[in-house]
Amino acid sequence: MKEFFSNRRKFIRNTATTATGMMLLSSLPKRAIAGFTPEPKIRFSVININHGHISGMVNAVARGGGQLVSVYAKEPDLLAAFTKQFPQVKVAASEKEILEDSTIQLIMSSGIPDERAPLGIRVMQHGKDYLVDKPGIITLEQLAEVRKVQKETKRIYSIMYSERFENKATVKAGELVKAGAIGKVIQTVILAPHRISPKTRPDWFWDKKRFGGIICDIGSHQFDQFLYFTGSTHADVIASQIGNVNHPDYPKFEDFGDVMLRGNNGSGYIRIDWFTPDGLNTWGDGRLTILGTDGYIEVRKNTDIATDHKGGNHLYIVNQKETKYIDCNQEPLPFGAALVDDILNRTETAMPQEHCFLATELALKAQKNAQWITNIPK
**pLDDT value for 39:** 83
206 φψ region: left (φ > 0), alpha (ψ -120 to 50), beta (else): alpha
**pLDDT value for 66:** 98
Q: How far apart are the C-alpha atoms of 327 and 154, rounded to whole Å?
A: 39
pLDDT tens-digit series, residues 25-35: 344 444 434 44
Cis peptide bond prior to 135, omega within 30° of 0? yes
> Residue 235: exposed, middle, or buried by beta-carbon count in 10 A (0-12, 13-18, 19+)?
buried
**pLDDT value for 2:** 40
Q: Is 99 helix (H, G, I), strand (E, B) or coil?
A: helix
Beta-strand ranges (E) seen in the chain are 42-49, 66-72, 90-91, 106-110, 129-133, 157-160, 185-193, 235-243, 256-263, 266-273, 287-292, 295-300, 314-319, 323-327, 371-372
**pLDDT value for 38:** 64
Every domain of the chain and the residues it spans: 2-32, 164-335+364-372
Mean pLDDT per block of 10 residues along the chain (378 residues) reads 41 41 41 55 98 96 97 97 97 98 98 98 98 98 98 98 97 98 98 93 95 96 98 98 95 97 98 97 97 98 96 98 98 97 98 98 98 76
Q: How far apart are the C-alpha atoms of 53 and 55, rounded to whole Å?
A: 5
CATH of 164-335+364-372, picked from 3.40.50.740, 2.60.40.10, 3.30.360.10, 3.40.50.2300, is: 3.30.360.10
pLDDT tens-digit series, residues 165-200: 999 999 999 999 999 999 999 999 999 999 999 888
Question: Helix, strand, coil: what percent of the chain each, to 5?
Answer: 40, 25, 40
> Residue 318: exposed, middle, or buried by beta-carbon count in 10 A (0-12, 13-18, 19+)?
middle
- Tell me which amino acid residue 260 is: M
**pLDDT value for 376:** 61
pTM for this predicted structure: 0.89
